[in-house]
Amino acid sequence: MSLRSYVIARLLLTIPMIMLLLTFVFLVVRVLPGDPASLHFEKQVNPQMLLEFKRQLGLDKPIEIQYVEYLVGLLRGDFGKSMQDFSPVSQQIFSAFPATLELAIFSTIIMVLVGVVLGVQASRSYNSVQDHSVRIFGIGSYAIPVFFLGEVMIMIFAIYLHLFPAGDRIYPGMVPTGLTLGGLHWSTGLYTIDSILEGNPSKFAMSLRYLFLPSLTLGTVLCGIFIRLTRGNMLETLQLDFVTAARARGLKERTVVYGYALRNAFLPILTMMGLQFAALLAGAVLTETTFSWPGLGRYLVDRISFRDYTAIQGVVVFFGILVAIVSLAVDIIYAYLDPRIRF
């Protein structure tokens, strides 16, 4: 099967999946509780006010029309209106998204780095104390609720040791501004990149400082699967003839392990990164809340306390679409790299 036909087939599969997801979310938010608008008001509310409220949000129309408007709106990038102030949810989403993206990126880096390095070390000392400890760590780290680990990190590193900040994304007033050339302004919303664009190393260092604890927390909790994957793969590969033959030629152990054996594990690790993305987002929700990180996750939790159901719907839909796109991208990259599909 050529690359092109694979991509097309994959795309065709993504569309019904997204549709299913959108419909599912719609059913949960608009149909399940009966009337999200009444639910929003805890106490009794003037029926006149309720009607006006519903009208503003488009919740007074029959359910089928609501569904169509919902889908059409999404195509235009409209994620609904907040129940709190009728402002477009998409605005909030797109302003909070870069923070979550940055957290996700750095958490992934830690997750993969820690996971792979530990996995390799464990595989090299098969059945030793080191091997067993790493394996236990891999299983155990996932058993720790990410927000508990976050709190512990804050306790130790921020409160007792004063090494890292306990929350937020950057010191007030130190937001990197990106690059301004002539009349054009380039900024990504990712503080690390923006500070580089701005040419301000102190802001760069600062943004890293603030990123460190949250990424470490989220990365640690999710690295277990990478440890297991790498270790398993390496154990298999290290048994293969060409690895023994390479050693027999006197190649350095480091070359053998990383150059020969790890190459094999590379593709599965890549796929796993894609698969873990959803877990990453879920974890981000809790991590952002713990570290007061101004991302989508914290926005979602925020909206819960305000009973802002339409906003919740918008965020959840956004998450769904995001995950679908990312897994599509990962699958395509994988297909591109896997020689079996190419040739």
Partner 1 sequence: MPLLDIQSLVVEYHTFRANVKAVDRVSLSLEKGRTLGLVGESGCGKSTLGLSTLRLIPPPGKIVSGQITLDGIDIINCPEEEIRRVRGKRVGYIFQDPMTSLNPVKKIGAHFVEMIRTHEPGVAEGDALKRAKEVLGRLGILPERINDFPHQFSGGMRQRVMIGLALALDPDLLIADEPTTSLDVIVEAQIIELLKELKESLNLTLLLITHNIGIIAETADRVAVMYAGRIAELGETRALFEKPMHPYTQALLNSVPNITKKDQVLSWILGAPPDLAEPPPGCLFHPRCPYAFDRCKKEEPLLLKHNSSEVACHLYNRR
Partner 2 sequence: MSNERRQGRILVQLFPSLIGLARRGLAGWAVLIGGVIVATVAIMTVVSPWISPYNPIAINVGPILSPPSSEFPLGTNHLGQDMLSRVYSGGSIMFQVALLSVIVCLVVGVPIGLFASYTGGYTDKVASLVMDSIYAFPGLVLAIAIAAMLGPGVVNMALSIAVVYVPSYFRIIRSQVLTIKELPYVEAAHMMGARARKTLFSYILPNVIPSIVAVATINFADAILTAAGLTFVGLGLPVSTPDWGWDLTYGRRLLPSGAWWAITFPGLMVVLLALGFTLMGEGLSELFNPRLQR
CA distance 327 to 128: 37
Q: CB nearer to partner 1: give 5 or 244.
A: 244
- Binding-site partner at residue 24 among partner 2, partner 1, none, CB < 5 to 8 Å by type: partner 2
Tell me which stretch binds partner 2 (CB under 8 A): 3-11, 91-99, 118-126, 320-328. Answer: 320-328
52 belongs to the binding site for partner 1 (CB under 8 A): no
Q: CB nearer to partner 2: give 324 or 333.
A: 324
Q: Spell out a b/e string for 13-35, using b for 16 or more CB atoms within 10 Å of the CB, else e.
A: eeeeebeebbeebbeebbeeeee
Q: CB nearer to partner 2: give 205 or 240.
A: 240
State residue 175 phi and psi, 5-degree precision.
-65, 125
Give residues with Cβ within 8 angstroms of 283, minimum separation 6. Answer: 107, 146, 218, 221, 222
How many residues bind partner 1 (CB under 8 A)? The answer is 20
Residue 196 has what DSSP assignment? H
> CA distances (Å), 102 to each of 77, 154, 165, in order?
22, 20, 17
Binders in 258-277 for partner 1, by CB under 8 A: 260, 263
Closest to 206 in 3D by CA, of 192, 194, 220, 216: 192
- Binding-site partner at residue 55 among partner 1, partner 2, none, CB < 5 to 8 Å by type: none
CB of 119 to partner 1, least distance (A): 17
Q: Write the binding mask 224 to 263 for partner 2: x where contact by CB under 8 A, - elsewhere.
A: -x--x---x-------------------------------
Tell me which stretch binds partner 2 (CB under 8 A): 23-31, 45-53, 187-195, 196-204. Answer: 23-31
20 belongs to the binding site for partner 2 (CB under 8 A): yes
Burial class (CB in 10 A: 0-12, 13-18, 19+), 310: buried
Q: CB nearer to partner 1: give 83 or 238.
A: 238
CA distance 281 to 275: 11
28 belongs to the binding site for partner 2 (CB under 8 A): yes
329 belongs to the binding site for partner 2 (CB under 8 A): no
State residue 266 phi and psi, 5-degree precision.
-55, -50
Q: CB nearer to partner 1: give 172 or 339.
A: 339
Read off the tokens for 302. Answer: 């925020």
- Binding-site partner at residue 47 among partner 1, partner 2, none, CB < 5 to 8 Å by type: none
Question: In sequence order, what are the beta bridge partners of 179?
Answer: 186
Tally Cβ neighbours within 10 Å of residue 269.
17
Tell me which stretch binds partner 1 (CB under 8 A): 211-219, 241-249, 265-273, 322-330. Answer: 241-249
CA distance 129 to 194: 44
CA distance 256 to 243: 7
Read off the tokens for 185. Answer: 């302004």
> CA distances (Å), 342 to each of 148, 242, 326, 338, in order?
45, 24, 21, 7
Please identify which residue in 55, 61, 185, 252 interacts with partner 1, judged by CB under 8 A: 252
145 belongs to the binding site for partner 2 (CB under 8 A): yes
Please identify which residue in 72, 163, 253, 325 interacts with partner 1, judged by CB under 8 A: 253
**Which amino acid belongs to residue 297?**
G
* Residues making contact with partner 2 (CB under 8 A): 16-17, 20-21, 24-25, 28-29, 32-33, 36, 39, 132, 139-140, 142-145, 147-148, 151-152, 154-155, 159, 225, 228, 232, 278-279, 281-283, 285-286, 289-290, 300-301, 304-305, 309, 312-313, 316, 319-320, 323-324, 327
* Residues making contact with partner 1 (CB under 8 A): 126-127, 238-242, 244-253, 255, 260, 263
